[in-house]
Amino acid sequence: MTKEDILNGQVLLIDKPLNWSSFQAVNKLKYALKNHYDLPKKFKIGHAGTLDPLATGLLIICTGKFTKTISEIQAQTKEYIGTITVGATTPSYDLETEVDATFPTEHITDHVIQETIKQFLGEIDQKPPVFSAIKKDGKRLYEHARAGEEVEIQSRKTTIYEFEITRIALPEIDFRVQCSKGTYIRSLAYDFGLALNSGGHLTSLRRTKIGDYSVENAATPDDYINQLKV
């Protein structure tokens, strides 16, 4: 790959590590590419769809003229695998915050789980988590949440194309889901727990695909940077 390739546009497939923000991953690559290829200070680079710090997996980073395709990539179907832990909820719907309530799980059988999935297939209404980056009244929702402010969140339409349970070892339920742009898997975990007449929160998440792009072809930021040095 040459300097011209980067400026003309590249799609880089990155496997985002746990506890990294998407911004961190982009920044690390930005400085590595800038220094390696002696690129202009303001060369274009950005990612096509945020991953939470507690999620791992496919982060698509576009450079140069390909940054114009970011919204097109973001609109494609996404696939995730992960774990929902039932019997407890957290305010953030994941492990970012502590458990705030516990619920019974004795009534949850494999049959009940498989039947409950059906409620979540197709177009559904979903409320984003209060701990999310969506803006309301000029502030991000997580800023309202951390300040202890109550905000009303409007539900949104989203589509779940596939929702498959891959392992049941209560309180853990592993899943694979294919969904449309704008789906919050944390909200899906929370709503799934409610639908089971219990509670639920997301305890692991990995994005495996965006459209035809797969994490199988991705490299971690450090691996990618090391390849540049070879």
Catalytic residues: 52
Say what angle helices 22-37 and 221-229 make with each other, to 10 degrees. 10
Tokens 């199988």 -> residue = 216
Length of the chain: 230
Smallest CA-to-CA distance from 96 within 171, 16, 190 is with 190
Smallest CA-to-CA distance from 12 within 226, 221, 230, 229 is with 221
Tokens 């727990």 -> residue = 193
CA atoms within 13 A on the CB side of 147: 9
Contact by Cβ (8 Å): 160, 177 = yes
Q: Is 93 exposed, middle or buried (0-12, 13-18, 19+ CB in 10 A)?
A: buried
